[in-house]
Each structure stands twice: as C-alpha cells, then as structure tokens.
Amino acid sequence: MAKALYGYVGHTPDRRMLDEVTRLRAKVQSLEFEVTRLRADNDRLSAEVTSAEEVARLSEPALT
C-alpha cells in the first residue's frame, strides 16, 4: 500500500487527464442545471394537471 501511495504522490498529473476532468466537471454542472430545470417544469405541469382535474370535478349545471 505504501508503494502505491508513494508512486501516486510522486507522479505529476497528466495534462490530458486534467483537461478531461475539467471537461467532465463542466458536463456534470450542465446536467445538474438541466435536472433542476426539468424538475421545475415537472412541478409546474403537475400543478396545471391538478388545477385542470379540479375544474373537471366541478359539477356542471343541468341543461333544461
């Protein structure tokens, strides 16, 4: 275990790996924003459906 840690600590980071990590972090941030937006849309649509169901439950006057 000590040899593995020593090899890891003494190793300089690869520029390609750093670029990939940066790209992946940006992608995760973008996806998290998309999830937040979709949840807000879902909440809005759920509220609309609930209000539409309430309107549909109202009794209509009988036609005479």
CA separation for the pair 64, 54 (Å, rounded): 25
Per-residue model confidence as pLDDT tens digits over 5-38: 665 665 667 899 889 999 999 999 999 999 999 9
CA separation for the pair 7, 14 (Å, rounded): 14
CA separation for the pair 30, 36 (Å, rounded): 10
Q: What is the pLDDT of residue 11?
A: 65
- pTM of the shown model: 0.58
CA separation for the pair 25, 31 (Å, rounded): 10
Q: Which two tokens stand for residue 19?
A: 């670029």
